Amino acid sequence: MLDEAYHRMDRRTAGPGEPWRVRVARVADDNRDLLARHPWIADLAVTRPPLGPGVIGKYEYELAAFEGIGLTDVEMDAALTHLLGFVHANALAAADDAAHNSRQSQEDWWAVSAPLLERALDPERYPLAGRVGSTVAGYHPETIWAFGLQCVLDGLARLIDSRPGPDDTP
């Protein structure tokens, strides 16, 4: 089933000269979409998946996003694994949020929880939790996705930019 799901995964091809950040973000988005359509995949151990055409094709597609950006082959695999770990964690959180929201709306949850929070949250003892929590006011999966993906991409960019260029002398 996993190999078949991977085989059917959307694989949007890169345009000529497309920036690597766009390609890598696309891989993240495609994997996020895959896990949204098949949430059971997030419960599987996929570090040693069944080696079929779906798995191999998915891996080839994903690695192509990292090709030519200044990483070694080992680093390309590690960068992909890091990216997919972020996607996996995000998918688990989104599934958890969806499961809770299917049982109780955000408004209903806050109606029950707000009085408890007011009693438990001493603003003098927990000033940061009070300030940040009231600003955020709930779980926002799209904000968390965009911020996390930006951090992953910025981290890769910093690594790549720290490398000497072909014209630099060591």
What is the pLDDT at residue 71?
96
Q: Domain count for the chain, please give it.
A: 2
**Tokens representing 134?**
């009231």
Per-residue confidence in pLDDT tens, the chain, 170 aa? 989 999 999 888 877 789 999 999 999 999 999 999 999 998 887 777 778 999 999 999 999 999 999 999 999 999 999 999 999 999 988 877 666 556 667 777 777 877 888 888 888 898 888 888 888 877 788 899 999 999 999 999 999 999 876 555 45
In this prediction the pTM is 0.82
85 & 110 share domain: no
Per the CB < 8 A criterion, the answer to whether 55 and 2 are in contact is: yes
Range of the domain at 128: 105-139
60 & 109 share domain: no
Is position 74 within any domain?
yes
68 & 115 share domain: no
What is the pLDDT at residue 130?
83
128 & 50 share domain: no
What is the pLDDT at residue 47?
74
What is the pLDDT at residue 99?
60
CA distances from 19 to 14, 61, 67, 108, 120 (A): 9, 16, 11, 44, 48
